[in-house]
Structure 1
């Protein structure tokens, strides 16, 4: 299923952008799961980095359509 969604995204985005979006979502998601399920620490720098990932992915989507 995950590969199918990446394939669908690549129909609308360049391959590089689709891959960055894919890995950004995965990085953000696993970090959130780590905090929720495994009590990983939450710190200001960590939240800042996660915010930058989301903003970067959104920026690439806006630039590449």
Structure 2
């Protein structure tokens, strides 16, 4: 069974084939390539942990506090 990411990749490749002769698409693709080479498209990182680990840490802290 195909994953969602695989489906999106396949559709993206189809659209790229359809738009390969479109000058606006070429300009946009070149722009994104320049941005990528400059390292300006880095993914956004988050400093907060996922919600499930917050509860785990708070629970562990409470357990440790009760042992004191």
TM bucket (normalised to shorter chain) is 0.3 to 0.5
Normalised to the residue count of structure 2, the TM-score between the two structures is: 0.33
| Greater RCO (CA < 8 Å, at least 6 residues apart) | 1
Normalised to the residue count of structure 1, the TM-score between the two structures is: 0.34
